[in-house]
Structure 1
């Protein structure tokens, strides 16, 4: 039976080590340690399960539904969940079809009237056109019985692409942080674990209730999307005069502008989509690598992953299933 390491699985299936760990914590996957292997490994049973998860996620099935589907042998329950997701898709399709039909009728009406000034949009016919639209409950007219993985991937890319409405522009103010750098397998867990312990030991949530938590890949070189980090640094904002115990150190963050996007379903491919949005922006320049904190031996100016609800998570025991992350990409105005 072939065993594959986390790195191999991440590379072969293009998903991050953190996503694999998330699936494990949600009870969908199980890794193990075997004699002769320095790292955690997955057996063929779990690789098969991962393939199932990937397909279901590309079909836009929520993780909570996947848990029920894969842990329940009841076909009726699975059909019920699939139908629930089909109903949600029908609503989206109906809404998009409505918008498409209105725009199509606008084009036809404008072409017929040669309405260069678009007076149509202020005309009563606008409402009559909208009112005349009618749609069936199910907009799916045809179902392709054989959909290839390439087609599924293309559909997923189209649906997941970031639009302007998906990205917020924000300014992170200057702050002092306690930082922990960890390396090797599980470096994200090590760094975040040390920060969480520091917060608990010092009662920081009471001292600084507006605290903010950040983390970033501190690998010396880009590892590639889906490849586990070789080093990771976690931060927590602290009062300027607060002392921190080793191995934590203090850093001074000078502030800066960021393009922000909430991580969807722990899919770290969103980093790639956010970078593409920034690079295509007509208002902002990519500022990755711009010096923004001191000391900067861990690569000042990278993107952050911020826990949006850290204060609540700290109160509830730092449960991964309760975490919500914001991806923050450094930018500057053109």
Structure 2
């Protein structure tokens, strides 16, 4: 009788999680067996060979959907189609990178030819960059914009990388909510609270789609009685996909890229009323101290997108 390998041993051998193995099974890519006297999943030699094939394809960044198509096809036509598409994508990206390099070199020559008092002053560098960004945005709206600017915007959009996303779990906690109050009033209230001995983040801002306005939240400490007269809500906590952005125009761009990262992730999906009993919103937290903005001219913000574990697709 062929020896069966326990799920934990398979996970250790191939450096993957047991949940990933179960996910591959749920997607119909892998099969396990269970003996009558053993409750855990076990894998035979054929399953391990199939798993090795899955892992190789995933290393090539082949989607689970395409892997399913490959395994469902009796010949090699689908495999060749997927791999050829991957090669074409790599070739296209290399060509775009080369074109972007030429555009960047052109802008370097442009900057070198313009007056710039002190290249070592980070604030001046930031203002210079923002000024050029404004010129590019204005040029992008001009029908007669230079071809170089048009192509640079197209190239950078196609090459836009997903941000470094981390998944965290926030605990359920009582929070004071700004509600209909002015955000400046709420800011003055919680900014006066001594939080030197507490971990951050403690405050978040989100856009409440029901009230059509931004609301600010501040996590209350246990037993805290003075809530400034603001409404106290029960924050449900939960899983969030988080990435950092510079305040301003970068925030909506990074927020959209976090959503894209979640959509492409095989383990998580964005929280909705259909898959999450709690009403949760995208939210943000400025994590840099005021002195940082004084030195650089901008803040850094963590953007939080509520997520849940992805449920297997029903056949």
Q: Normalising by structure 1, report the TM-score.
A: 0.41
**CA radius of gyration, larger in:** 2
The structure with higher relative contact order (CA 8 Å, sep 6+) is 1
